[in-house]
Structure 1
């Protein structure tokens, strides 16, 4: 059986090992039976960062109950270090784009940041975590990005590890070209974070605040004004390609 022959992957936080009988949640059972139209005997994959990815047949599949007997390790567990993404939340659908694409691009932490121009409303951490989980199931990741509690810009900077470079997307054009910033300040993608501001950008006092820490580097993403979700994708893709 080839690696790609099993298309259904579900995250399972508990231990995975040969012969283990894994009980799935009611929501997962509903998804497998009613959405994917699978049947008992069909093979699916379960994964987590510690134990890797395992596959096995569905021993039981009912409306609210499903069990898998895992029998084949497809990939061992492995660390998946990656950049952090701090961003001002947007409206629901656009925040979902950021969460999904950041997960696909290997982000290790998602940090919602409330700025003066943030218009996204209340941050639903559980919804963001669920969106990240679904994206991880689709993109062959083993790990899930951590979703941090929302914080102010001042709180973000106060708690930021000084050894981790923070690349600040500056739509005013005052930063380094992102390729130059990456080549001159980063050794690998796990050494950094990216900060994407709100629609309308950072206020002048926020830009001044960001100029104080030595770990901040202002970056320029090109001659056009990008939407926040586009800027996040561009920056993460550049880091992934150039480190």
Structure 2
């Protein structure tokens, strides 16, 4: 079943006109035709059944039928990820969306080996992953900021699990024991600078955790940390 994320309000009988990209996807890639059924969601009104109306060269219309699933929210989990090269970063964003992250917040650290990225492309990747994985919302991808700026404006009540490659921290499954608002912080390929580690370990809301005895690439570390957090405190648990 094709699923599309749309920006419109959803209500029975409403007609939606898809943008050029989604219209091209349905008409040229998926070969959709009038009367075909699909699902749409907007992150606010649940998932709806829809049927294809007109299929034009530049626009496809949909007719909403009825709700298929009520709106639900996943865990209140952010991923804070140091900028890395484009390929690994895109993999991280895709897998973070699949693993239920609510926000993806790129940061610049002392050892970051990239200082910019295309946030619009990362947002498109997060949207496509959300459509494919069945979730009812799409994680927001924020503009990159420096780590110090992010910490200075930290949200009260949100704990920070930072993956410390030094190896003297507790495993994630011991460091995370309950839910609530959390963020997982993964550093760059070169790791956190000593000054950054000292700052992070001094934060009252931060918890240092190790991902094991081996040195992991940033994309492997991010996927591993999110998986372990989900197992310990996320919506994988009954």
TM-score grouping bracket, smaller chain normalisation: over 0.9
> What is the rounded CA distance, in whole Å, between the counterparts of 2:37 and 2:156 in structure 1?
46
Task: Indicate conservation of the 8 Å contact 2:86/2:117, yes or no.
Answer: no
Q: Cα distance, 1:81 vs. partner?
A: 3.5
Q: 1:83 aligns with which of 77, 88, 91?
A: 77
Quick one: distance in 2 between partners of 1:130 and 1:154?
27
Separation (CA, whole Å) in 2 of partners of 1:172 and 1:165: 20
Find out whether 1:8 has 2:2 as its counterpart.
yes
8 Å contact kept, 1:91–1:119? yes
Contact kept? 2:116, 2:144, Cα under 8 Å: no
Contact 2:5 2:42 in 1 (8 A): yes
Give the secondary structure class of the aligned counterpart of 1:40.
coil
Residues paired across the two proteins, number: 233
Unaligned runs of 5+ in 1: 1-6
What SS is found at the alignment partner of 1:112? strand
Deviations 1:117-144 (Å, cap 9, x if unpaired)?
A: 1113412211111111111111111111
Q: Where do residues 38-187 of structure 1 align in structure 2 (5 Å cutoff)? A: 38-183=32-177, 187=178
User: TM (normalized to structure 2)?
Assistant: 0.94
Cα offset, 1:225, TM superposition: 0.9
Q: Secondary structure at the match of 2:135?
A: coil
**In 1, distance between residues paired with 2:164 and 2:187?**
8
Please report the RMSD computed on the Cα atoms of aligned residues, expressed in angstroms: 1.2
TM-score using structure 1 length: 0.92
Corresponding residue for 1:29? 23
Contact 2:108–2:115 under 8 Å retained in 1: no
Q: Is the 8 A contact 1:48 1:77 kept in 2?
A: no
From 165, 182, 189, the equivalent of 1:199 is: 189
1:159 & 1:91 partners in 2: Cα distance?
Answer: 26
The residue number in structure 1 matching 2:236 is none
Q: Report if aligned partners of 2:17, 2:60 keep a CA contact under 8 Å in 1.
A: yes
Q: Which moved more, 1:76-85 or 1:147-156?
A: 76-85
